[in-house]
Structure 1
Amino acid sequence: MTDEILLSRQGRLGLITLNRPKAINALTLNMVRAMTRALNDWAGDASVGAVLIRGAGERGLCAGGDIVAIYNAARSGDRAPVDFWREEYALNLLIADYAKPVVALMHGVVMGGGVGVSAHAAHRIVTEGSTIAMPEVGIGFVPDVGGTFLLARAPGELGTHLALTAGRAGPADCVLLGLADVFVAKDRLEGLADVLSDCASHDDVGAALAKIAAPAGPPPLADARPWIDAAYAADSVEEIAANLAGVPDLSAQAALALLRRHSPTSLKVTLRALRKARALGRLAPCLDMELIAATACLGGHDFPEGIRAAVIDKDRAPKWAPARLEEVLEDQIARYFA
């Protein structure tokens, strides 16, 4: 295979280790293809009872994709990112529909593409060090890898809040949002593969994880549900911003400040996508919708500009175009769904 992905076996457990720790295991096309081949091979192997996906190093499972490569492609007109997304999204669907139990260890940073290879798994583990985010609107992009499907299914409007603020969720909030299932303290992880090595069913995995799991603690977002649900229930970003402006809670004002920093186009496209995902109700059509939107982002202004400001020049001062929510017209939003 490739050193970027380590494949091994422990008893009946197939192990996939993302192995780019210096890049927080950011995904490459080779990694996507290696994971896809391994999962397809193990699907027909009776000696494999379950699969564990984890990341090398202590920093995180996966920080997403290679956005510098996407920036270069956007500037040159190269369509390679579209091919990458197509294969990546197929992998996300494969994980979601996998007949055997897939366990994802979501320790440390889990962002963007990292969410795609973990949050669709049947058994999702967070630790005290887990930070999960879909920060796409901050770089002029939209939630993808099935992010619209996941966030649209979150309780109330918590998913809308997380998407439009590009917020980060800790372990307890991840369980509340439906992005994770169980909390396991970091000091219990060393024997995780041993615990899973004899598992051959979802019941086996559930029982094994129950032996090492612990309460995740109170989720901070639970206390904010009343104002979040009220503010984000609106069907336009302008209305949401106005609603937030009228909430005296400091957390609401912080959310409004974050929202105002992000790409107006991405905010409007993301809200539309979340509402469509809620109606679609299944992962596969959401991924199809996201591929169309992602392709449109590649040819637009804000995506390369957002990457420039965040990771190329690092000036943190993107010049969005249009610059104001009111300037983003309906026909401009519609092309992200055409």
Structure 2
Amino acid sequence: TYKKPLVSIIDGVVMGGGLGISLHGSHRVVTENAFASMPEMAIGYFTDVGVAHAAQRMVGTRGQASPALAKYWAITGYRMYAADMLWSGLATHAVQDAETILDAIVENGADTALKQHSYVPDGEAPLAGVIDEIESTFNHATWPEIQEALKSADKEFAQDTAKYLAAACPTSVVASNELFESHAQEEDIVKALQREESLGRYIRSRGDFAEGVRAVLVDKTKDAAFNPEETAAVDIDAIHAALKV
């Protein structure tokens, strides 16, 4: 809610919390070296830092906001590069070099500098090629409905989605989907973040979070044994209770 311009220069890898604190700003500037994703599903956590609130309200060069698109890249951990970030709305500008734009912003101000140095990447954004499949599958309110829709989706798209989700914690996937639905109904970012904080306490209290951190960040074996192993067995009532603040 900060009133002054807040410029994020996204250069290189930006994931999870780093992405979350960046996308709430007025100017989200990506370089040619940038790629972004939300990898929390693999460590037994969820799409936090207000991503579920901001992402589904962003309008990029596509010209419209899309809760389904935001839910897709956030829950699957899909890696976005400059073209996808501009098209989806995650980024507002693309530039070639971080240091050059930083110097220009200091000298001339953000708007003038970005007008001089920003550009539109060549070619179609990869997400634009699968947006119809994304909209027809991830536009549903519950994870079982999304899973059912994926069964009749384009075969290649469904296979890619399954590959992205292969290492995901089932509880994290369901919790993130429910968080997106909760944020969709809440315009007040403060109240939305309070629900997120409550959900975070619940998720961190479970063994999946420690197991995911061990497997991905500590031992780096990527062999997390999540419990439950299937989304159908996730305690949805506990997740709903955590989201009622």
- Note whether the superposition's TM-score is higher than 0.5: yes
Closer, same or farther: CA 142–284 of 1 in aligned 2, 3 Å:
same
Look up the SS of the partner of 1:104 in the other structure: strand
Once the two structures are superposed, residues 74-95 of structure 1 have per-residue CA deviations (whole angstroms, 9 ceiling, x without a partner) of xxxxxxxxxxxxxxxxxxxxxx
State whether structure 2 residue 56 is matched by structure 1 residue 152. Answer: yes
Amino acid at match of 2:33: G
Q: Contact 1:137–1:163 at 8 Å: present in 2 too?
A: no
Q: Does 1:115 align with 2:26?
A: no
Task: Give the gaps of 5 or more residues in structure 1.
Answer: 1-96
1:126 to 25, 30, 43: 30
* Identity score, percent: 29
Q: Give the whole-Å Cα distance in 1 for the aligned partners of 2:100 and 2:140.
A: 46
User: How far, CA to CA, are the matches of 2:73 and 2:181 in structure 1?
Assistant: 14
How far apart, CA to CA, are the structure 2 residues paired with 1:236 and 1:324? Answer: 15
Aligned ranges for residues 22-171 of structure 1 at < 5 Å?
97-154=1-58, 155-156=65-66, 157-171=68-82
Distance 1:319 1:150, change over 3 A: same
Q: Aligned residue pairs: how many? A: 236
More strand per residue: 1
Instruction: Tell me how far apart the structure 1 counterparts of residues 152 and 100 of structure 2 sit (CA, whole Å).
Output: 49
Q: How far did residue 260 of structure 1 move? A: 4.1
Instruction: Provide the residue aligned with 1:195 in structure 2.
Output: 104
1:198 positional shift:
4.2
In structure 2, runs of 5+ residues without a counterpart are 59-64
Judge which range, 247-256 or 117-126, deviates more: 247-256
Are residue 228 (structure 1) and residue 139 (structure 2) matched? no
Distance 1:285 1:127 in 2: 33
- SS of the residue 1:197 aligns to: helix
Residue 331 of structure 1: which of 217, 237, 242 is its match? Answer: 237
2:143 — aligned with what?
237
Runs of 4+, deviation exceeding 3 Å: none
Greater relative contact order (CA < 8 Å, ≥ 6 in sequence): 2
The TM-score with structure 2 as length reference comes to: 0.89
Other-structure match for 1:210: 115
After TM superposition, give the deviation of residue 220 of structure 1 in Å. 0.8
Secondary structure, counterpart of 1:126 in structure 2: strand
| Alignment match, 1:28 | none
Structure exhibiting the larger radius of gyration computed from Cα positions: 1
Instruction: Tell me if structure 2 keeps the 8 A contact 1:125–1:180.
Output: yes
Residue pair 1:148, 1:286 contacting (<8 A) in 2 also: no
